[in-house]
Amino acid sequence: MPGCNTQGLVHSLESFGSVDGPGVRFVVFLQGCNLRCRYCHNPETWACGCGQPWTAGDLFQHVWRYRNYWGKKGGITVSGGEPLLQMDFVTELFRLAWAKKVHTAIDTAGEPFRPDDPAYLAAFDALMEVTSLVILDLKEIDPEKHRRLTGKSNENILAMARHIADLGVPLWIRHVLVPGLTDDEEGLRQTGAFIASLPTVQRVEVLPYHTLGLFKWQKLGIPYSLTDAQPPTDEQVRRAEELLMVDRYPG
């Protein structure tokens, strides 16, 4: 059972986040991720077992100092890397926040989710009890395309989305649009239909591909396979938003 002394490995902290949930957010980026997304803009967060150690109690006390900036809509977002790799730590951090009535959001790609493991599901449900919002990055709807894009399949990720909706936890869905890679119309239609089947989705966002993280790949000496990829045009973004039925989700 997690407690205030539960320790996590943190990559970095952002005091005034504005794109990782509603309002002004204090964003905690955790270390470690099992996906190897071809367009990842934070490859330095992939490695597990490193990062700055924090206990949940100490980190919450640090975060709590910024509460006057959050207003009525803001709060705490835990991102990564992949926050579900450090689930006990996030759960305890959120329990401390929940006790202070702080809005809590988790930004995840869902890869660690294990739908057939009862002990894991119990721990996951405990996290969801103190989570105000899940921001889920749906990278590809087709399992094989997802594997080629990230190195992993996505059946468990889609199962996680359904499970979160069944629990009644609000969802924001994000999709990174890479021309020639994640923009095929049939895939976007299927993704839109899947999203429409989730009753707790409040918002859907299309995130245009960019190369702002390319220098990190180069610095780390990791080969980058999308050297010829270009950011989508405004028209390509609008078309993706139509296929994903973004207008249905005003939240």
pLDDT in 10s for each residue of the chain, 251 residues? 455 568 999 999 999 999 999 999 999 999 999 999 999 988 999 999 899 999 999 999 999 999 999 988 999 999 999 999 999 999 999 999 999 999 999 999 999 999 999 999 999 999 999 999 999 999 999 999 999 999 999 999 999 999 999 999 999 999 999 999 999 999 999 999 999 999 999 999 999 998 877 888 888 999 998 988 899 999 999 999 999 999 999 87
Judge whether 150 lies within some domain: yes
**Number of structural domains in the chain:** 1
* Contacts (Cβ under 8 Å, ≥6 apart) of 175: 137, 138, 139, 182, 188, 191, 204, 205, 206, 207, 240, 244
Judge whether 104 lies within some domain: yes
Judge whether 2 lies within some domain: no
Judge whether 23 lies within some domain: yes
Total residues found in the chain within this entry: 251
What per-residue confidence (pLDDT) applies to 202? 98
Sheet (strand 103-108) strand order: 52-55, 7-17, 25-30, 75-79, 103-108, 133-137, 171-177, 201-208
How far is Cα 159 from Cα 243, in angstroms, rounded to an integer? 22
- Which residues form the domain of 61? 7-248
How far is Cα 174 from Cα 171, in angstroms, rounded to an integer? 10
**Which residues are registered as beta bridge partners of 17?**
25
Token pair in block for residue 218 = 């180069």
What per-residue confidence (pLDDT) applies to 1? 46
Judge whether 32 lies within some domain: yes
Judge whether 83 lies within some domain: yes
CA angle 175, 177, 183 (to 5 degrees): 105
Judge whether 1 lies within some domain: no
95: CATH: 3.20.20.70
User: Is the C-alpha dihedral spanning 199, 132, 77, 90 positive or negative?
Assistant: negative
For the chain, count helices (H), then strands (E): 8, 8
